[in-house]
Structure 1
């Protein structure tokens, strides 16, 4: 077993590290790591349907898709992430209890009583402290989970807040539960890094944790992060097909937008409302069809459009905002 205390807090790098270890080594792994503030969405989710897009954009919070399924989670430096990689994939069946038991035991020896609950959660007194997910590839299983230690609950609720009626699709939805921080249940005060060290020592049986990654490994992981986990195509474009609708009151009147998106690209758009214009709005809809459902790309397209002729009183940024 390779024990890794990964000191990176870059979410794209850390998710790439998991995939690289899974696909390019035969090591069995236990790794602890943290992310700077980020939203991590499940493999099968519609990214925009899981987040408050204004909240994460205004705070420059990255949104990154992971390999495994399940729901979206908010990470910050008060959240501990743990990863197990095993050569025994359990016959291809998902087994969450197998990998959460060592974590439950480690927390128990710190004086925190938690238990496995539902499909994939750990709870303290019925309140969630850990969500878990798995991915199986090449006869190996990647199991990773979160541990809310001293996470900012305001950011969690803000980043993951979204109107459930806004997106109509069949993608996996995140299930929100009441949550709590492990730090609030410890019999003795400790910081997050001390907790990580205690968990590592417990799971490893006191083994010395290895240097995180060799230089060649770091270069390979960075390359994977650049080619996948830092790309719009993976994080947003890989979303399942979805339909989006929004009604917005603007200085030019109410604008009602209906948008169908596939592979992150607008396939159909209709713009209704109370606005006035001298040109057929169908021409504007045609300009936006085929564009990525991305603020920057939409703004570029609209820069070349005489928007006031289609929608008097509706400027570029206002219309872009109507489409999210």
Structure 2
């Protein structure tokens, strides 16, 4: 039976601006893929990321270009040979997982040999702002298990100290989004343990992180922009202790599962992250959450309105979408 592909650009306004060292977002622009086989439909979502040279228009065009292959019954294994790792492949891969599970009358978790998703402690992100504003945001979430704070190179010591003082209990991820230099890191090194930072995420620019090989960090350093697929892992050895798996980088759940298994075998700790997206982008990633030491899947919590039936948060515990939303 032929399959029918539909691909669309959807926009979700944010309830408050999302600021990182690279800029400010006021909306989540996503590409939504629907693949129908008869009366059964699978869905997937991806966020094209300008940092990786991706645009909405080019992502949609790349997906439409493989419509004949999808119609003819393209498999997830075959997909990897048609699209590179990235947003376009992610949206199609996740739609194929969803469709496959529904056609089989089972769940994606069962197909993948994974436990069904459950509520997980997921980071609540404190966006980049003045130290006082960041402290105010942190105080409102001081009871959650895990905070993630976005910093830049302007005054990271004041930003981190303000958040830690306002929220002394949660575990803490600090994410400079590639904005630091090795000199910044050396200056802050004596304070990293003092602030009780649990993870430092991508402090130096990817491709310019060779200095991390000689840096004796008092806290684990995590690769984000420096990691896309399992093929990148060997180059990260000696520089990073943890890797951040995002489906928009890996090109979908299929490669993300391979990456997780390979990373663990090579001794890396795991983090599962996301872009600012809807719950359709988060549901597949939650399947990896149980394997990760750090989960950062709060993208939909920034939206003014999510897709109906999506994930829910209660005091930093993220619960899966309603049954039937994706993958079940």
TM value normalised by structure 1: 0.20
Q: Which structure has more RCO (C-alpha within 8 Å, separation ≥ 6)?
A: 2
